[in-house]
Amino acid sequence: MDKNKKQGILFIIGAGFCFALMTFFVRKSGDLPTIQKAFFRNVVAVFVAFVLLLRSKQGFRVQKGSIPGLLARSFFGTCGILCNFFAADHLHIADASMLNKLSPFFAIAVSYIILKERANAVEWLSVVVALIGAAFVVKPTGGVTTLYGLVGLAGGLAAGLGYTFIRYLGKRGERGPVIVLWFSLFSCLATAPALIFDYHPMSGQQLTFLLLTGLSATGGQLCITKAYTKAAARDISVFDYSQILFAAILGWIFLAELPDIFSWIGYVIIIGTAVGKWRYMLWRDRREKEKGETTWNEKQPSA
């Protein structure tokens, strides 16, 4: 496995941890409007990305031809956040989480259409098995056929499209902080009008948790942006399910939520799939390398 793929996997696992923290802090922030939570999720990211770019040598320069991709990533990413938060406010959390975890699958499917990146049968199977494991963990209780469920499903699709455009921008050489700044600023501007007309006063504790939500989301955005600029969705998306494991650990330690037998079955399936896919990638890369060396040797003139 090449260096970029290894780094992509590490970054997406880091993103899973950050997004698990984000979910934890959102829950701790209490009963606030979805738009308000979405705004604070991104306003911190705007500040962090702005500072990173301000201190960089290239500043705020955007690669030539990247603006359409940046707008597409920002639009679909914002739709994904709003749909996911809306679904979480109206569905069981298990249902909303399950629908959100469809985003890596959509990323692989859309990558084939937009980026022409093909996934083989083993890679498709690993994603399907991981989805089965996720179903054991979140235990959907129904409602996915209702309007709210369809909104959550649309959120998973929008997130997958957003991740695909991250990969597209990465292949064009666009920097991670630029992608994060455009996405976060777009989201803030899109949610600001609704926030102004439906603002709910917050306690100091709620504000603190929302700021921590934004900080965690920023870390997740930076990590996942870096991940998809390092490797294709088919190579790393299955590791996005690490978020479920991190969320379970946080729930166990801080919320006294002990996983049941179905959750443990899901953990085994997800971890087993991740390890199996990792081993398969190592074997495939080694085989292709050996094949290439054999072909090269066969072309050399005999002594």
Query: Domain boundaries in the chain?
Result: 3-123+142-237
Does the pLDDT value for residue 133 go beyond 90? no
Residue 79: pLDDT band by 50, 70, 90 thresholds? Answer: very high
State the CB neighbour count (10 A cutoff) for residue 59. Answer: 9
pLDDT of residue 71: 95
| Contact yes or no for 173/112 (Cβ under 8 A) | no
The predicted pLDDT at position 238 comes to 77
Output the CA–CA distances (angstroms, integers) from residue 110 to 116, 246, 254, in the order listed: 9, 27, 37
Q: What pLDDT does 142 receive?
A: 60
Determine the Cα–Cα distance for residues 34 and 102; give it in Å rounded to an integer.
21
Q: How confident is the model at residue 23 (pLDDT cuts 50, 70, 90)?
A: confident
Asked if residues 233 and 104 have their Cβ atoms less than 8 Å apart, the reply is: yes
- What pLDDT was estimated at residue 300? 56
Q: Using one digit for the tens of pLDDT, what is the confidence trace for 260-290?
A: 787 778 878 887 887 787 778 778 877 887 7
pLDDT in tens, 187-221: 999 999 988 888 899 999 999 999 998 899 888 87
Residue type, 131: L
- For residue 254, the model assigns a pLDDT of 84
Between 92-96, 177-181, 277-281, the lowest mean confidence (pLDDT) is in 92-96
Task: Kindly state the percentage of the chain with pLDDT values over 90.
Answer: 17
Q: What is the pLDDT of residue 294?
A: 61
pLDDT of 302 reads 44
| pLDDT confidence band for 145 (50 / 70 / 90) | very low
| pTM for this prediction | 0.74
Q: Is residue 70 pLDDT above 90, yes or no?
A: yes
Phi and psi torsions of 37, nearest 5°: -65, -40
Query: Is the Cβ–Cβ distance between 229 and 178 less than 8 Å?
Result: no
- What percent of the chain has pLDDT above 70? 87
Residue 30 in this model has a pLDDT that exceeds 70: yes
Q: Which of 2-11, 78-87, 259-268 has the lowest mean pLDDT?
A: 259-268
- Please, what is the average pLDDT of the chain? 81
Through-space distance between the first and last CA atoms of the chain, rounded to whole angstroms: 33
Mean pLDDT of 88-114: 70
pLDDT higher for 33 or 109?
33
